[in-house]
């Protein structure tokens, strides 16, 4: 269990964080013979994957588990393989989400002494984690890992810049369509167990009703289905026609 998992207070919604233990596995919990889903791990040559494997710990992350808390040291870095983790700087909005496309704890790569914000699991799923010290050591010994991590930090900066532009210039409906497509890609599933309120917090819109209105439009066009606490994407292509371009991946330096 990560050191921060004892915290009960959800930094965004209040005292609702789960104490559900992290389920640990000796190997990847799902289909260990299949290629790695996390793009950073998958980008490494086989020999570096083998070298890193000794330090990786596989687990299933449970919903609402706090992985990093503001002001606390980042003891582990997580590589999601199906889980979706939201990062919040101010304890209100959750503008940054990480799935198969990245890692949780990027500040540790920049020698930050502690986490600047909170990282909470929003969609449960598998992940690999590694001790921060072990990752820093491995980075100095494995040249491809060093390059992949540097490229990822660069990609994060670009994503942040685009996120700022998106929230300033694009309207809620195309932003929501883009967000749903991004989350679908990050979590690797069309079933997103996220409420309207959660989506509004990720979008950073003050009026949850604007998200509800946009969802009603998408549902009327049979692009999505909505059930209690879950959005199911039925027509990603149709959703893409309504989305602002911000869901498309920026050209990444990660091979």
Provide the binding-site residues for Zn ion, judged by CB under 5 A.
166, 170, 244, 246
Q: For residue 36, count other CB atoms closer than 10 A to its CB.
A: 16
CB of 179 to Zn ion, least distance (A): 9
Q: Distance between CA 223 and CA 235 in Å, rounded? A: 5
Please identify, using beta-carbon distances, which residue of 112 and 164 lies nearer to Zn ion.
164
Please identify, using beta-carbon distances, which residue of 170 and 234 lies nearer to Zn ion.
170
For the record, the structure tokens of 224 come out as 């999505």
CB of 169 to Zn ion, least distance (A): 7
17, 20, 25, 28 alpha-carbon torsion, rounded to 10°: -50
Closest CA to 117 of 59, 60, 184, 68: 68
Q: Distance between CA 82 and CA 41 in Å, rounded? A: 13
Please identify, using beta-carbon distances, which residue of 46 and 168 lies nearer to Zn ion.
168
CB of 207 to Zn ion, least distance (A): 18
Please identify, using beta-carbon distances, which residue of 40 and 178 lies nearer to Zn ion.
178
Rounded to the nearest angstrom, the gap between the alpha carbon of residue 131 and the centroid of all alpha carbons in its chain is 19
Q: Distance between CA 187 and CA 121 in Å, rounded? A: 11
Closest CA to 118 of 8, 241, 229, 234: 8
CB of 172 to Zn ion, least distance (A): 10
CB of 71 to Zn ion, least distance (A): 31
Please identify, using beta-carbon distances, which residue of 37 and 201 lies nearer to Zn ion.
201
Helix axes 196-203, 172-187, angle to 10 degrees: 100
CB of 246 to Zn ion, least distance (A): 3
Please identify, using beta-carbon distances, which residue of 128 and 244 lies nearer to Zn ion.
244
């Amino acid at each position: 269990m990560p050191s921060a998992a004892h915290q009960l207070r959800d930094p965004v919604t209040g005292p609702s964080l789960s104490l559900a233990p992290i389920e640990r596995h000796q190997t990847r919990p799902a289909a260990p013979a299949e290629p790695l889903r996390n793009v950073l791990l998958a980008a490494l040559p086989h020999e570096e994957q083998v070298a890193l494997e000794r330090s990786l710990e596989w687990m299933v992350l449970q919903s609402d588990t706090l992985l990093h808390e503001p002001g606390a040291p980042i003891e582990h870095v997580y590589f999601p393989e199906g889980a979706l983790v939201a990062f919040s700087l101010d304890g209100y909005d959750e503008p940054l989400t990480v799935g198969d496309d990245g890692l949780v704890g990027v500040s540790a790569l920049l020698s930050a002494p502690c986490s600047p914000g909170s990282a909470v699991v929003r969609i449960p799923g598998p992940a690999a984690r590694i001790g921060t010290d072990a990752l820093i050591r491995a980075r100095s010994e494995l040249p491809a890992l060093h390059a992949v991590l540097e490229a990822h930090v660069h990609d994060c900066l670009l994503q942040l810049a685009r996120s700022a532009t998106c929230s300033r210039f694009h309207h809620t409906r195309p932003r929501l369509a883009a967000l749903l497509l991004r989350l679908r890609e990050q979590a690797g599933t069309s079933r997103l167990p996220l409420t309207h309120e959660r989506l509004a917090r990720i979008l950073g819109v003050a009026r949850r009703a604007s998200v509800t209105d946009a969802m009603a439009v998408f549902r009327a066009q049979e692009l999505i289905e909505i059930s209690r606490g879950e959005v199911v994407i039925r027509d990603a292509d149709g959703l893409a026609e309504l989305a602002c371009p911000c869901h498309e991946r920026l050209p990444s330096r990660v091979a």
